[in-house]
């Protein structure tokens, strides 16, 4: 039976019912809907709508429904009710008879769904925070393992300056720290309880809404009933958090796909996150990483779809808002799966330190170092830059690295260059010179690792 119907002389046609029903996806809110209902029964008892005995009976029935539902969630989706709220109410009435019909007093599906969805969002967002922290720990472990491994750093995908492999790991740790901080902000803002806002105007029963909010683990109750039933900022914020973080994960994936390619062979992915080709027996493809990169698109899609749906909706609740669920129900689990998969890729990766070093030594990645050497000899940087450019050109013509040029070849272009240039051009020296905060020198990277470890313990 539908939750409405008194003022209708005929029922919905089948096509409309299918179009309108949300149970096939909002069944996922079953726990939240029951938990919210238990708290609402308590609130109704406090204002005298339910006797203590009636409330006890309802709560017991709701608890047993909770147990049954958790065991068989999948069958709820196809049970034919309009939405999760109709389902829970119908099952409650099956259990306790007419008493079940009292529970919806003073409540609307509008404040109910807003509450359920916030509860689900909070719980899921908290799981994501945990998952991200675990990925960060895996990156830090890799950083410690490859602490002094040298990697070419790129700009424009051209070898630019050498960096420590551990510095690369810690760059992603930084991005993920911002993702966690954004999520925590979003959690903080969504942690307000809309229940007791009624359909739009507030409830006509003198419910202690702050108490009700606390019962459900919220920080406080929402302050405006019109806003409370129609606000979906929390969905937008979570999708935005998801999009930004997926962008980070897809960049991580792309870096690793490149490092894993036959062209660079800097890393080798473990067998457990790669797959073969049906035709080419030699292939070991980085599917896990490609899927992380690929799934990023659909998370961005969910974000823009939600923005489009909410744009220009008049106050207060409109059925358009039912479209809030499928995107978030897809995006957040997709995000979690990608975080876990990225962690597996990081944990099993083998780094080929010889290949990374060789690549870092090529490509004249120590040219900036030479310019800095000239600065120390009193040459203005802009002039030094030009001189080094000429030397790079000579080295390219001879098929050599800069440090392989003879001293008289250096002197021909710039007499100020002396034999003390050679140690400066060593790759280790290039890295060691980056001593300022945030640079790639070993003490700085070690400090970054320690900083992260200190923060995660708090």
Catalytically active residues are 156, 277
Query: CB-wise, 332 or 402, nearer to ligand ARG?
Result: 332
* 365 burial via Cβ count (<10 Å: 0-12, 13-18, 19+): buried
Reduce the DSSP state of residue 162 to 3 states and report it.
strand
Least separation in angstroms between residue 109's CB and ligand ARG is 4
Least separation in angstroms between residue 193's CB and ligand ARG is 17
Consecutive H or E run containing 138 = helix 109-145
- Alpha-carbon distance of 60 to 255, in angstroms, equals 54
Ordered alpha helix ranges (H), 216-261: 225-230, 233-260
Least separation in angstroms between residue 78's CB and ligand ARG is 16
- Alpha-carbon distance of 65 to 92, in angstroms, equals 8
Phi, psi of 163 (to 5 degrees): -135, 165
Q: Parallel, antiparallel, or unpaired for β 192-193 and 220-221?
A: parallel
- Alpha-carbon distance of 416 to 391, in angstroms, equals 13
Least separation in angstroms between residue 177's CB and ligand ARG is 34
Query: CB-wise, 22 or 296, nearer to ligand ARG?
Result: 22
Least separation in angstroms between residue 323's CB and ligand ARG is 8
* Torsion over CA: 70, 75, 81, 83 (sign): positive
* Torsion over CA: 409, 412, 413, 418 (sign): positive
| CB neighbourhood size of 302 (10 A) | 22
Longest dimension (CA), the chain: 101
Q: For the CA atoms of the chain, what is the radius of gyration?
A: 30
Query: CB-wise, 7 or 319, nearer to ligand ARG?
Result: 319
- Alpha-carbon distance of 441 to 432, in angstroms, equals 5
Six-digit token string for 383:
């002039």
Please spell the DSSP secondary structure of 55-79, one letter per residue: HHHHHHHHHHHHHHHHHTHHHHHTS
Least separation in angstroms between residue 120's CB and ligand ARG is 12
Please spell the DSSP secondary structure of 351-398, one letter per residue: E-HHHHHHHHHSTTTTHHHHHHHHHHTT--HHHHHHHHHHHHHHHHHH
Consecutive H or E run containing 340 = helix 324-348
- Alpha-carbon distance of 280 to 241, in angstroms, equals 39
Q: Are 234 and 189 in contact (CB under 8 A)?
A: yes
- Alpha-carbon distance of 52 to 240, in angstroms, equals 44
Query: CB-wise, 22 or 366, nearer to ligand ARG?
Result: 22
Query: CB-wise, 28 or 110, nearer to ligand ARG?
Result: 110
Q: Which residues bind ligand ARG (CB under 6 A)?
A: 22, 26, 83, 109-110, 113, 317, 319, 321-322
Query: CB-wise, 235 or 249, nearer to ligand ARG?
Result: 235
Query: CB-wise, 22 or 136, nearer to ligand ARG?
Result: 22
Query: CB-wise, 26 or 45, nearer to ligand ARG?
Result: 26
Least separation in angstroms between residue 51's CB and ligand ARG is 29
Least separation in angstroms between residue 115's CB and ligand ARG is 11
């Amino acid at each position: 039976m539908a939750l409405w119907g008194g003022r209708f002389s005929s029922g919905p046609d089948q096509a409309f019912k299918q179009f309108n029903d949300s149970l096939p996806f909002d069944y996922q809110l079953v726990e939240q809907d029951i938990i919210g209902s238990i708290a609402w029964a308590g609130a109704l008892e406090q204002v005298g709508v339910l006797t203590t005995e009636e409330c006890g009976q309802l709560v017991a029935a709701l608890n047993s429904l909770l147990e049954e539902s958790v065991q068989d969630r999948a069958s709820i989706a196809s049970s034919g009710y309009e939405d999760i709220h109709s389902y829970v109410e119908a099952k409650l009435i099956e259990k306790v008879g007419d008493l079940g019909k009292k529970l919806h007093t003073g409540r609307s599906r509008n404040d109910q769904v807003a509450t359920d969805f916030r509860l689900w969002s909070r719980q899921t967002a908290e799981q994501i925070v945990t998952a991200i922290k675990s990925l960060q720990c895996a990156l830090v472990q890799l950083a410690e393992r490859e602490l002094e491994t040298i990697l070419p750093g790129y700009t424009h995908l051209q070898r630019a300056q050498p960096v420590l492999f551990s510095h690369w790991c810690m760059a992603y740790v930084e991005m993920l720290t911002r993702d966690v901080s954004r999520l925590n902000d979003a959690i903080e803002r969504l942690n307000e309880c809309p229940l007791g806002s009624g359909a739009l105007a507030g409830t006509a029963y003198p419910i202690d809404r702050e108490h009700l909010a606390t019962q459900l683990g919220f920080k406080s109750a929402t302050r405006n009933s019109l806003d409370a039933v129609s606000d979906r900022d929390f969905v937008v914020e979570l999708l935005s958090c998801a999009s930004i973080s997926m962008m980070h994960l897809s960049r991580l994936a792309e870096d690793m796909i490149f490092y894993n390619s036959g062209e660079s062979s800097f890393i080798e992915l473990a067998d457990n996150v790669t797959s073969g080709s049906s035709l080419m027996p030699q292939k070991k493809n980085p599917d896990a990483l490609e899927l992380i990169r690929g799934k990023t698109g659909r998370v961005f899609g969910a974000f823009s779809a939600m923005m489009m749906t909410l744009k220009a909706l008049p106050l207060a609740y409109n059925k358009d808002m039912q479209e809030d669920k499928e995107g978030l129900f897809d995006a957040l689990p997709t995000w979690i799966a990608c975080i876990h998969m990225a962690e597996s890729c990081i944990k099993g990766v083998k780094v080929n330190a010889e290949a990374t070093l060789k690549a870092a030594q090529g490509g004249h990645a120590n040219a900036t170092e030479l310019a800095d050497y000239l600065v120390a000899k009193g040459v203005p940087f802009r002039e030094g830059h030009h001189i080094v450019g000429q030397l790079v050109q000579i080295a390219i013509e001879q098929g050599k690295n800069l440090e392989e040029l003879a001293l008289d070849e250096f002197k021909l272009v710039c007499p100020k260059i002396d034999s003390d240039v050679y140690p400066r051009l060593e790759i280790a020296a290039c890295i060691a010179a980056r001593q300022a905060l945030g640079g790639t020198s070993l003490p700085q990277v070690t400090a970054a690792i320690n900083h992260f470890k200190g923060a995660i313990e708090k």
